Structure 1
């Protein structure tokens, strides 16, 4: 019973949660960057092909949204790696 409780405590520790969040953002930030670049290229190609007005609002809006998500992902990953984990573990950031 004690070993089960110990495993549950380890799973709920702030370090475990921070490392889990880091793992998620480690790949999600790059995926968001790829999507943002894809939408930006789509918007530019449509603009160069002469489309205008209402047809271009969605690629542009999506580019802005995905760029924001990408920036947030990179900032979150860096904050966890350099601030949160060292504060929790007492070890210098690697």
Structure 2
């Protein structure tokens, strides 16, 4: 009986952790998307205004970093929603 209870507690903590990660990425993925777009727009504006050299590197690098984090956030959220939680709970993702 203790084995079943231990597995149920472990499953519950995994589910809690997965749901917490989903809650975090639910808003963070949109925030990172906004930041990626704003840095990209900043880079384009600076380029159009004729700035050159070192002034253009930081907005471009930052836009790439935030875009990568955005992709990671959306893929992590989807993986947890469609694979991890159904695997833990035994319920479908629908």
Interval containing the TM-score (normalised by the shorter chain): 0.7 to 0.9
Superposed displacement of residue 73, structure 1: 0.1
SS across alignment from 1:93: coil
Aligned residue-pair number: 85
Query: Which structure 1 residue ranges, 5 or more long, are not aligned?
Result: 1-8
Superposed displacement of residue 53, structure 1: 1.0
* Cα root mean square deviation, aligned: 1.2
**1:42 corresponds to:** 42
What TM-score, normalized by structure 1, do the two folds share? 0.87
- 4+ long deviations beyond 6 Å: none
Please list the CA deviations of residues 28-78 of structure 1 after superposition, one character each: whole Å capped at 9, or x if unmatched. 000000000000000000000000111000000000000000000000000
What TM-score, normalized by structure 2, do the two folds share? 0.87
Superposed displacement of residue 16, structure 1: 0.5
**2:51 corresponds to:** 51
**How many angstroms apart in 2 are the aligned matches of 1:70 and 1:20?**
18
**2:66 corresponds to:** 66
